[in-house]
Structure 1
Amino acid sequence: MIERLLPPGVASAEAYGDPPEALLFPAEEALVRRASEGRRREFTTVRLCARRALAELGVAPVPLLPGERGAPRWPERVVGSMTHCDGYRAAAVARRSPEVLSVGIDAEPHRALPPGVLEAVALPSELRRVEGLARRAPRVHWDRLLFSAKESVYKAWFPLTRTRLGFDEADIALDLSGSFRAVLLRGPGPSEFAGRWLVADGLLATAVTYRA
Structure 2
Amino acid sequence: MIRALLPAGTAARSSGGELTGPGLFEAELRQVAGASPRRRAEYATVRRLARACLAELGEAPVPLARGAGGAPRWPAGTVGSLTHCPGYRAAAVARTRDADGLGIDAEPRAPLPARVLTQVASAAERAHLDALAAAEPDVPWCRLLFSAKESYYKVWYPAMGCWLGFDDAEAVLDGGRHRGWFTVRPVAGGARRVRRADAGFDAAATGFPALRGRWAAGPGVVVTAIAAPVGSLPRPGQAGRTATGMPRWAQ
For Structure 1 versus Structure 2, the TM-score category normalised by the shorter chain is over 0.9
Find the aligned partners of 1:111 and 1:22 in 2 and give their Cα distance.
34
Residue aligning to 2:60: 60
Q: Which amino acid aligns with 2:132?
A: L
The CA deviation at 1:189 is: 3.3
Q: Secondary structure at the residue paired with 1:69? A: coil
Tell me which residue corresponds to 2:182.
Answer: 180
The superposition leaves residues 35-79 of structure 1 with CA deviations (integer Å, 9 ceiling, x where unpaired) of: 101101100000001000011110100010001320110001110
- Is 2:149 the counterpart of 1:147? no
Runs of 4+ in 1 over 3 A off after TM superposition: none
Q: Distance in 1 between matches of 2:29 and 2:159?
A: 28
Q: Distance in 2 between matches of 1:172 and 1:22?
A: 39
SS at match of 1:208: strand
8 Å CA contact 2:18, 2:41 repeated in 1? yes
| Paired AA for residue 29 in structure 1 | L
TM-score between both structures, scaled by the size of structure 1: 0.96
CA distance in 1 between partners of 2:26 and 2:35 (Å): 15
Match of 2:106 in 1: 107
Aligned to 1:120: 119
Distance 2:31 2:52 in 1: 21
Gap regions ≥5 residues in structure 1: none
The number of aligned residues is 211
Aligned to 2:207: 189
Name the one with the larger helix percent: 1
The answer to whether the 8 Å contact 2:214/2:224 transfers is yes
Contact 1:133 1:176 in 2 (8 A): no
Aligned-residue offset at 1:9: 1.2
Over aligned residues, Cα RMSD in angstroms?
1.1
Shift of 1:7: 0.3
Tell me how far apart the structure 2 counterparts of residues 22 and 90 of structure 1 sit (CA, whole Å): 17
Match of 1:170 in 2: 169
- What SS does the aligned partner of 2:69 have? helix
